[in-house]
């Protein structure tokens, strides 16, 4: 098997710790344990024995995750994974075979795109369109589904545009998936980072063959926990769990322990409120900054710590990114790595001063084009 390069992750992992300003980060600046645990809990964690735990996640954590999605879910519908990345990997591994086809939302994070193609699966790209407010046209979806279509893969809220699928379009997607007996895979890792503070509708439970993958890396500001999950039917969860035995066995027990506390109602709310306030503040600053530059057209995202700007310059987005990285020590991500040339993704979830100083360097670069 020949794996495709995961361009986005590779470009980030090679340079994100080397540049002065990493504005390629797509989540909210990480929290410290001392900011989220009480002193008593901090003592408790230091005295916790580091045993394996439960390979599918502790019952306590699985129950807390299930409760996020409504009363029809129980811990039997949840598998704890090493980030939502592992959850996505398991969904592709367990449900798709070489020769199958999937319909894939673009622009996107492209993990599922590269992975599926590496497994010999045909990936049919269905764009969300800027002129539609970064939404799908459901008629295009209907036309694209064929007898080989096994899965419709969605990222909602979307990375990189930050758009949230309208409820009306969700209904149409669900009807089509049900009628054509396709899996619905919804990557919802940005859910909870809505700028209006209202958590968007989840696809969880939409059909018997719906899988929702999410985790604590983005809206919850805890990427270092490597905490993710899958929510689906009991039979899907059983199957994903049996593959998970071959990937990581289980998530670090300490991460499971912390995550169970994070998802307590009041603590979860406090973290998501912090996320909302921080993102609104930084986004306003970013969009105000952007008004001075006709070289970039920004649109306001609905959610997530990222926005996708159109590049109005006669230069490829990758060249733009590389030059900025190598001469101004600022890292952004190229639209090409999200499946759409001509755009640049800006991450604005880091501390305000850091974003401001990073943008100052981008200003210096952009001025070169008008000189």
Ligand X SMILES: Cc1ncc(COP(=O)(O)O)c(C=O)c1O
DSSP state of 295: T
Give how many residues touch ligand X by CB under 6 A. Answer: 14
Rounded Cα–Cα distance for residues 217 and 251 (Å): 14
Rounded Cα–Cα distance for residues 57 and 53 (Å): 7
Q: Name the segment binding ligand X (CB under 6 A); options: 38-46, 77-85, 116-124, 285-293.
A: 77-85
CB of 222 to ligand X, least distance (A): 9
- Tokens 């322990």 found at: 257
81 in Cβ contact with 230 (< 8 Å):
yes
CB of 90 to ligand X, least distance (A): 12
Closest CA to 299 of 130, 137, 165: 130
Rounded Cα–Cα distance for residues 319 and 342 (Å): 11
Select from 11, 84, 221, 260 the one that contacts ligand X (CB under 6 A): 84
Tokens in use for 208?
């018997």
Residue nearest ligand X, CB atom distance:
83
Rounded Cα–Cα distance for residues 92 and 96 (Å): 6
Is residue 159 part of the contact set for ligand X (CB under 6 A)? yes
10 in Cβ contact with 114 (< 8 Å):
no
Q: Cα 90 to chain center, whole Å?
A: 16
Rounded Cα–Cα distance for residues 187 and 43 (Å): 35
Is residue 109 part of the contact set for ligand X (CB under 6 A)? yes
Tokens in use for 165?
């699928």
CB of 159 to ligand X, least distance (A): 4
Q: Name the segment binding ligand X (CB under 6 A); options: 48-56, 81-89, 269-277, 316-324.
A: 81-89
CB of 155 to ligand X, least distance (A): 5
Q: Name the segment binding ligand X (CB under 6 A); options: 80-88, 99-107, 177-185, 344-352.
A: 80-88
CB of 206 to ligand X, least distance (A): 19
Is residue 83 part of the contact set for ligand X (CB under 6 A)? yes
CB of 180 to ligand X, least distance (A): 24
Is residue 155 part of the contact set for ligand X (CB under 6 A)? yes
Closest CA to 340 of 187, 173, 128, 101: 128
CB of 199 to ligand X, least distance (A): 16
Q: Name the segment binding ligand X (CB under 6 A); options: 83-91, 310-318, 321-329, 347-355.
A: 83-91
Is residue 316 part of the contact set for ligand X (CB under 6 A)? no
Applying CB under 6 A, the residues found at the interface with ligand X are 26, 83-85, 109, 111, 155, 159, 187, 189, 215, 217, 223, 228
């Amino acid at each position: 098997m020949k794996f495709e390069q995961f361009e986005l992750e590779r470009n980030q992992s090679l340079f994100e710790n080397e540049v002065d300003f990493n504005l390629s980060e797509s989540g909210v600046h990480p929290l410290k344990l001392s900011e989220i645990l009480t002193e008593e809990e901090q003592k408790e964690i230091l005295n916790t024995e580091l045993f394996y735990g439960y390979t599918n996640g502790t019952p306590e954590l699985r129950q807390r995750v299930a409760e996020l999605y409504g009363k029809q879910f129980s811990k039997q519908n949840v598998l704890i994974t090493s980030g939502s990345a592992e959850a996505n990997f398991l969904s592709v591994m367990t449900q798709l075979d070489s020769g199958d086809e999937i319909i894939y939302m673009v622009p996107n994070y492209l993990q599922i795109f590269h992975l599926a193609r590496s497994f010999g699966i045909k990936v049919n790209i269905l764009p969300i369109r800027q002129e539609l407010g970064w939404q799908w046209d459901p008629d295009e979806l209907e036309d694209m589904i064929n007898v080989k279509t096994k899965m419709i893969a969605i990222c909602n809220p979307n990375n990189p545009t930050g758009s949230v699928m309208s409820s009306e379009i969700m209904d149409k997607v669900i009807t089509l998936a049900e009628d054509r007996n396709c899996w619905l895979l919804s990557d919802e890792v940005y859910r909870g980072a809505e700028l209006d503070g209202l958590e968007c509708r989840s696809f969880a439970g939409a059909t018997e063959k719906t899988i929702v993958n999410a985790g604590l890396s983005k809206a919850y500001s805890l990427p270092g926990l490597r905490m993710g999950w899958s929510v689906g039917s009991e039979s899907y969860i059983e199957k994903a769990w049996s593959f998970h035995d071959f990937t990581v066995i289980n998530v670090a027990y300490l991460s499971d322990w912390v995550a169970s506390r994070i998802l307590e109602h009041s603590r979860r709310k406090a973290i998501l409120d912090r996320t909302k306030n921080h993102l609104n503040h930084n986004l306003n600053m970013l969009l105000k900054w952007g008004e001075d530059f006709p070289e970039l057209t920004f649109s306001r995202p609905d959610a997530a710590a990222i926005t996708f700007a159109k590049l109005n310059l006669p230069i490829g987005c990758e060249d733009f990114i590389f030059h900025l990285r190598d001469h101004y020590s600022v890292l952004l991500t190229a639209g090409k790595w999200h499946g759409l040339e001509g755009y640049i993704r800006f991450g604005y979830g880091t501390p305000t001063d850091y974003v401001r100083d990073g943008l100052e360097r981008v200003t210096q670069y952009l001025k070169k084009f008008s000189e």
